[in-house]
Amino acid sequence: MPNLAIARAICRSDCKSDSKSNCRADSGSGCGVDILYIGSKLELDRKLVEAAGLQFKAIFTGKFRRYFSFRNFIDPIFIIIGFFQSIWIIISFWPDVVFAKGGFVSLPVAIAAFIFRRPIILHESDRIMGLSNKIVAILATKVCVAFPDVHINNSQITNDKRITNNKFVLTGNPVRMSIKDGDAGKGYQITGFHPQRPIVLIWGGSQGSQEINQVLENSFNILKNTFQFVHVTGYGKRSSITDPSYIQFEYLGDELKHIYAITDIVVGRSGANSLYELALVQKPNILIPLKSSAHNHQQLNAEYFEQMGASIILRDQPLHEILIALWHSPEQRELMKEALARIAKSDAAQRIAEIILANA
């Protein structure tokens, strides 16, 4: 989703620079920039990208795991195949610039681009760089960051001698601006909920979370008389809760903006994309960081938002205690909204697009 927001911003910037009156800013196909999206073999990736009107090519990918897994014996083969696929794509498409949004999918593409001296723009979403981004950052022309205190390992990035500081630009994290355009009436229609009772949105990121699902189930009987719950469980992770004050979805697409419009408090993970969406829509929130996230990045992201007064981290207390206390403190919720507004960078996609085009 952040990549698609940047693609739209690239098209808008190109339209503006060329004074095109009939330019389609929703995809790369309607303006003068030829955009190719390289992703994983996941079918959801292809569907989302092609629905946005962009070209899509999938490559084989593999992760560098720091724990034992039988996949560690297979993934190196996929990584090598993905690298040679990337070489062929770079030669045949011959981009003026390559944008890497982090992770193991973009690493072979970035290395191939560097071999052929194609400029590379990297975006780091989290407060701490993972292994793939540490490698790409060395090769990149510019590195856009979402947090003002990005770290490599346990040291601030400014202390890393391999990377000069003028490569780094604080842009924030690009999010879908459309999430601000929700219709409360449609939100109530989707859920069937009552406008006079507070609504809590609970979700565990794009894949869902069995842990968060269980946290809700543990507190639901105490909370159901006060709140109404919209629960995004993740694919294949259906909840056993049945109650008039509860509705669940495995996934929310375009409907999410309408759910945001009626939501009072959000409970969820602390991936950078989710956090910056919350900042944009200014929803008070309780965070449950994923403990197994690489380099503990979700915990670090959550701690930054908590330090800024924008979030509360669920630690040892049960969910119902913190949620009820937050609801009965409208002053705290207003302060959280103000903090979220300070963090939000609604122009992040546009700024990144301008950097990409300037280096093409």
Under the banding of pLDDT at 50, 70 and 90, the label for residue 19 is: very low
> C-alpha distances in angstroms, 62 versus 55, 208, 278, 286?
22, 22, 31, 33
pLDDT the model gives residue 212: 86
Instruction: Decide if pLDDT at 295 tops 70.
Output: no
| CATH number 3.30.70.20 is the correct assignment for the domain at 2-173+346-358 | no
Query: Average pLDDT in the 153-160 region?
Result: 47
Stated pTM of the model: 0.82
Under the banding of pLDDT at 50, 70 and 90, the label for residue 178 is: confident
Q: What is the rounded average pLDDT for all residues in the chain? A: 87
- Angle formed by the axes of helices 272-281 and 297-307, to 10°? 20
Domain extents in the chain: 2-173+346-358, 178-343
Higher pLDDT, 175 or 205: 175
Lowest mean pLDDT among 156-160, 212-216, 319-323: 156-160
Higher pLDDT, 165 or 225: 225
Under the banding of pLDDT at 50, 70 and 90, the label for residue 87 is: very high
| CATH number 1.20.1050.10 is the correct assignment for the domain at 178-343 | no
Instruction: Decide if pLDDT at 262 tops 60.
Output: yes
pLDDT the model gives residue 50: 92
pLDDT the model gives residue 159: 40
341-354 tens-digit pLDDT: 999 988 999 999 99
pLDDT the model gives residue 75: 72
141-153 tens-digit pLDDT: 999 999 988 866 5
Asked whether this chain's domains 2-173+346-358 and 178-343 adopt the same fold, the reply is yes
Query: Average pLDDT in the 180-197 region?
Result: 96
